Amino acid sequence: MVRRTKAEAEQTRSLILDTAEKVFSEKGVSRTSLADIAQAAGLTRGAIYWHFANKVDLFEAMLERIELPIESLQADIAEQADPLTALRDFWVRAFHEVVDDEQVRCVLSIMFHKCEYVDEMSVLLHRRDHTCCSLVEVMTQAFEKARRQGLLAAGVEPGLAALALRNFVLGTVSDWLFAPQHYDLKSLAEPLLELLLRGLRAQPR
């Protein structure tokens, strides 16, 4: 291979990132060398070092390509009449995306089970921390809105409910990715979330 055009170079960059997702998810981040990724991509380490400073830099670039659409969740909550249903639908869609989108599934399984949260990965640490906090904040707003509308069951604290829902959602994705063959997340997504939310909705009388 020799000098390619700019567009082709961008293509090999994407190829490296695509390959990294696969190899990382198979061998784990720390057990895969840059030579492993290069070989799997049909390149050499030279190509990787041209596009990325080192393995951590490549890993971070890989993470950058997917993100949780929190603003979208916030918009859903603001727009829709029933914030609890908005929450449910958002997470059902998210679960469906996890099942259907191989890239999302791959990267999430890396983040949950194929990497180590240590100092060296400070970007990863802060990303996850930030996402966790944002989720609780936005979902707390949803439960507060529900309470104002009389849609929240009595005695349910919005902050606590948001915490519980976050833990449940992340736990569900994590556990399912660990053993996807154990059950069909796509068909159980809505029933599972409805089970959680049924106790939080105000009882009609």
Q: What is the CB neighbour count within 10 angstroms for residue 46? A: 8
Residue 174: HSE in the Cβ half-sphere, 13 Å Cα cutoff: 10
Site stretch for DNA (CB under 7 A), options 35-43, 66-74, 116-124, 167-175:
35-43
Site membership for DNA, residue 125 (CB under 7 A): no
Q: What is the CB neighbour count within 10 angstroms for residue 93? A: 15
Determine which residue in the list 34, 77, 106, 110 makes contact with DNA, applying CB under 7 A: 34
Nearest to 107 by CA among 94, 98, 117: 98
Q: Is 155 exposed, middle or buried (0-12, 13-18, 19+ CB in 10 A)?
A: exposed
**Residue 21 and residue 30: Cα distance in Å, rounded?**
13
Annotate each residue in 146-185 with x if it binds a second copy (CB under 8 A) or - if it does not, as one string: -------x--xx--xx-xx-xxxxxxx-xxx-xx--xx--
For DNA, which is the closer residue by CB, 50 or 117? 50
For a second copy, which is the closer residue by CB, 64 or 120? 120
Site membership for a second copy, residue 26 (CB under 8 A): yes
Site membership for a second copy, residue 144 (CB under 8 A): no
**Residue 7 and residue 196: Cα distance in Å, rounded?**
48
Site membership for DNA, residue 114 (CB under 7 A): no
By the criterion CB under 8 A, which residues form the site for a second copy?
A: 26-31, 113-120, 128-129, 132-133, 153, 156-157, 160-161, 163-164, 166-172, 174-176, 178-179, 182-183, 188, 191-192, 195-200, 203
By the criterion CB under 7 A, which residues form the site for DNA?
A: 1-6, 8-9, 12-13, 33-36, 38, 43-47, 49-51, 54-55
